[in-house]
């Protein structure tokens, strides 16, 4: 089992959700996040004075999947989130030692569902 964590542009969430749905990945957790990478922030101005905004608004997706779904999930996230510009985000894939469904007590691959 793997845990796929992706940081994406907030406005691409809709596209990513659609792409995941097409790839038959129906589960995810979404949290708001602040972060920066190569994009280095953007420029806002307030009453004529410029402001550099360093930490950018991002959305963090967490998706627990079985091995055979890892590639599909990654491809779907890329399909939805990619614009080709700096700031599109990153995907991290980690091993997931255990998963338990609270309602039934099922464990492992079954619990991921």
Is residue 54 at the binding interface for other proteins, with CB under 8 A as the rule? no
Contact region with other proteins (CB under 8 A), list: 37-45, 74-82, 86-94, 96-104? 37-45
Asked if residue 77 lies in contact with residue 15, where contact means CB atoms within 8 angstroms, the answer is no
Whole-number Cα distances in Å, 58 to 71, 87, 92: 23, 9, 15
Q: Which of 26, 29, 41, 83 binds other proteins (CB under 8 A)?
A: 83
Is residue 32 at the binding interface for other proteins, with CB under 8 A as the rule? yes
Q: Which is nearer to other proteins, 2 or 12 (CB)?
A: 12
Spatial distance between the Cα atoms of 102 and 61, rounded to a whole number of angstroms: 21
Spatial distance between the Cα atoms of 96 and 13, rounded to a whole number of angstroms: 24
Write out the two tokens for 92: 């991290």
Is residue 43 at the binding interface for other proteins, with CB under 8 A as the rule? yes
Is residue 57 at the binding interface for other proteins, with CB under 8 A as the rule? yes
Is residue 24 at the binding interface for other proteins, with CB under 8 A as the rule? no
CA-wise closest residue to 87 among 5, 2, 7, 21:
7
The contact set with other proteins (CB under 8 A) reads 10-14, 30, 32, 34, 42-46, 57, 59, 83
């Amino acid at each position: 089992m793997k845990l796929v964590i992706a940081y994406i542009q907030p406005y691409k969430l809709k596209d990513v959700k659609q792409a995941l749905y097409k790839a038959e990945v129906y589960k995810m957790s979404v949290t708001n996040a602040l972060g920066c990478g190569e994009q280095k922030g953007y420029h806002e101005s307030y009453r004529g004075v410029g402001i550099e905004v360093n930490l950018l608004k991002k959305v963090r997706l967490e998706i627990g999947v079985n091995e055979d779904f890892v590639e599909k999930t990654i491809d779907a996230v890329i399909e939805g989130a990619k614009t080709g510009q700096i700031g599109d985000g990153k995907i991290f894939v980690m091993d997931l030692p255990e998963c338990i469904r609270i309602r039934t007590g099922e464990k492992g691959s079954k619990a991921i569902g």
